[in-house]
Amino acid sequence: MTATDDPHKLALPADLATKQQLARDWFEHLRDEICALFEQLEDEAPPALYPGAPGRFERTLWRRGDGLADAGGGVASLMRGRFFEKVGVHVSTVFGTFPPEFARQIEGAEVDPHFWASGISLIAHLRNPRCPAAHMNTRMIATTRSWFGGGGDLNPTLAIDRHKDAADARRFHADFRACCDRHDPEYYPRFRDWADSYFFLPHRNEPRGVGGIFFDRFRDKSWEQDFAFVQDVGKSFASSYGAILRGRMNEPWTEEERAGQLFWRGRYVEFNLLYDRGTTFGLKTGGNVNAILSSMPPVATW
Amino acid sequence: MTATDDPHKLALPADLATKQQLARDWFEHLRDEICALFEQLEDEAPPALYPGAPGRFERTLWRRGDGLADAGGGVASLMRGRFFEKVGVHVSTVFGTFPPEFARQIEGAEVDPHFWASGISLIAHLRNPRCPAAHMNTRMIATTRSWFGGGGDLNPTLAIDRHKDAADARRFHADFRACCDRHDPEYYPRFRDWADSYFFLPHRNEPRGVGGIFFDRFRDKSWEQDFAFVQDVGKSFASSYGAILRGRMNEPWTEEERAGQLFWRGRYVEFNLLYDRGTTFGLKTGGNVNAILSSMPPVATW
């Protein structure tokens, strides 16, 4: 039986406040680890292909709400570098009450619109069209129930790499499969299929990339076991994506490949503004617009 | 009393089929006039500022539906030129039945989901950041009732031009005011305000441009009088926008202004994918995706 089959499994865990703090601390720790890794890749990138000084993350604190009451906030970490053309690794912890129409759509908020949500969200756009873009996010949400959600997907920008048998796609999926299997052999096939249906552009009848995993309203075993899985997803993504980028950063590219990348990024923009749940959630809960829309690519063409 | 106050005013006109044909013929005629004007501007643009051969519109026919039944279609006219970096002037005439959830939101379709819609839609993105982008569309729609809708707005891409006292904005509004006043002195203030609230990005708390006019569910006087107004809107837009472009096409621009234009275009993309009714209507009624999304700017940055 899955979490979505049994609403009782979404009830609040004991000692919620401590668990919220643990989750929040983890998302911020993961952010630090990933930012350090990405800055290291900035340093390693060969200057012949990537002129200029290595980029560094800039952090911007933002507070939610009108300043009258504490409603949480976040830290946006954005780097515009020589290898990473634009990458955001954002954490936020927000709380308050959902607007009525939105509350009706959220598990556990129909009866009481109060919510708490903490998470990390990452989107990377590389200068080199041979280096795939990627997205990852994990989050903990509490209303009158609590659950985790998250996932990651790989977005090769060249058509030649945008199928599941391509080397990068195989590696990315193998790493997520190994991660999932450490926690439950049923997770990978289920969350892979969920990613395939979620990261899809119906109006184009096209997948966004080569998929990955996606899960939501996730509360399957104990809170501790579920949290361990969510932590593993973040670590596995960072390790897998870092290795993929290192493996391709030395490949030179053509003008035509760059044009293909910019064209694909247009599709990415369409997905984010038309379908992405994080974007919708953020815009409807008074999140920081600049942080939410920092997922937009640095340049896109149509 | 306005049309929206009195649903009886939205009832079907006598001899609907003839009127549908007249409307359709007009939208296609207006398309031809505007395409000819824009190609003339392509020819006039000084080669020192706009190298290369003048662009020409390319027309693409598309049919709606799965080919089993006639559900209408359209003609997308797209030009990627030297002065017009990307401009689309599209006509379409589509009919069929709305999906149930969509039918509930459309006047007169709650009881019978059949619809017919014909219109023209234009979006122009200029290479020169000193030349404003613009949008115009007019349409006739029939369900168990019938009405017109449309409007046009001016989108200067430089901050210095993006206020209502700027010369282009004043001219654009004066021309629309004169057009409206020829039909009813109440139209301009009402439709100008409607444009101000419609062409607005709530998540940014920013207007999209300097406005213009916007009207929907419009059936105010006789069908003939309403149709004459709709025709005048199209003609006035073409004449006003053509004059504005001619007035500015000889101005050279800086790299910084170009960067400002590309940045503003990112906002334009956000508006179109998050809020634009035409985009939503098109994607939900099986319109041609390439025609609908040809409104996307050729290049945008974030």
Of the two residues A139 and B7, the one the predictor is more confident about is A139
Burial annotation A70-82 (CB, 10 A radius, 16+ → b, else e): ebbbbbbbbbebb
A300/B298 CB distance under 8 A: no
B299/A269 CB distance under 8 A: no
* Nearest-neighbour CA in chain B from A47: distance (Å): 24
Query: In this predicted structure, what is the pLDDT of residue A289?
Result: 87
Average pLDDT in the A159-180 region? 96
- For A277-293, the pLDDT digits (tens) are 878 777 777 778 888 89
Q: Is the pLDDT of residue B202 over 80?
A: yes
- For B34-89, the pLDDT digits (tens) are 999 999 999 999 999 999 999 999 999 998 876 667 789 999 999 999 999 999 99
Mean pLDDT over each residue of chain A, to the nearest integer: 92
Lowest mean pLDDT among A39-53, B1-15, B157-171, B230-244: B1-15
Q: Which whole-number Å values give the CA distances from A19 to A14, A24, A141, A149, A280, in the listed order?
A: 9, 8, 11, 15, 26
Write the DSSP symbol of residue B164.
T
Closest-approach residue (CA) in chain B for A205? B289
The single residue listed with the structure tokens 């906030």 is: A73
Phi, psi of A123 (to 5 degrees): -140, 130
pLDDT confidence bin for A1, thresholds 50/70/90: very low
Query: In this predicted structure, what is the pLDDT of residue A67?
Result: 61
Average pLDDT in the B24-28 region? 98
A135 belongs to the catalytic site: yes
Find the helix or strand (DSSP H, E) in which B103 lies: helix B100-103
Query: In this predicted structure, what is the pLDDT of residue B66?
Result: 63
- The tokens for A249 are 């950063």
Of the two residues B254 and A97, the one the predictor is more confident about is B254
Q: Which residues of B touch A (CB under 8 A)?
A: 86, 203-204, 262, 266, 269-270, 273-274, 283, 289, 293-294, 296-302
Q: How far apart are CA A56 and CA A79, in angstroms?
A: 6
Find the helix or strand (DSSP H, E) in which A217 lies: strand A212-218
B203/A274 CB distance under 8 A: no
Q: Is the pLDDT of residue B15 over 70?
A: yes
Of B204, B283, B294, the CB nearest to A289: B204
Write the DSSP symbol of residue B145.
B
Give, rounded to a whole angstrom, the gap between the first and last alpha carbons of chain B. Answer: 44
* Nearest-neighbour CA in chain B from A205: distance (Å): 10
Q: How far apart are CA B60 and CA A8, in angstroms?
A: 55
Q: Are A269 and A129 in contact (CB under 8 A)?
A: no
Query: In this predicted structure, what is the pLDDT of residue B2?
Result: 46
pLDDT confidence bin for A248, thresholds 50/70/90: very high
Residues of B in contact with A133 (CB under 8 A): none
Average pLDDT in the B145-154 region? 96
Average pLDDT in the B205-228 region? 96
Q: How far apart are CA B263 and CA B256, in angstroms?
A: 11
DSSP SS3 for A87: strand
DSSP SS3 for B41: helix
pTM: 0.86
Q: Are B198 and B206 in contact (CB under 8 A)?
A: no
Q: Is the pLDDT of residue B238 over 50?
A: yes
Q: Where are the alpha helices (DSSP H) in chain A?
A: 16-44, 100-103, 167-181, 187-198, 223-248, 255-274, 277-284, 289-292
CATH number of the domain at B14-295, please? 3.40.1500.10
Residues of A in contact with B274 (CB under 8 A): 273
The single residue listed with the structure tokens 């290192």 is: A246
- What is this model's ipTM? 0.83
Percent of chain A with pLDDT over 70: 95
Of B283, B294, B300, the CB nearest to A203: B283
- The tokens for B62 are 């598309």
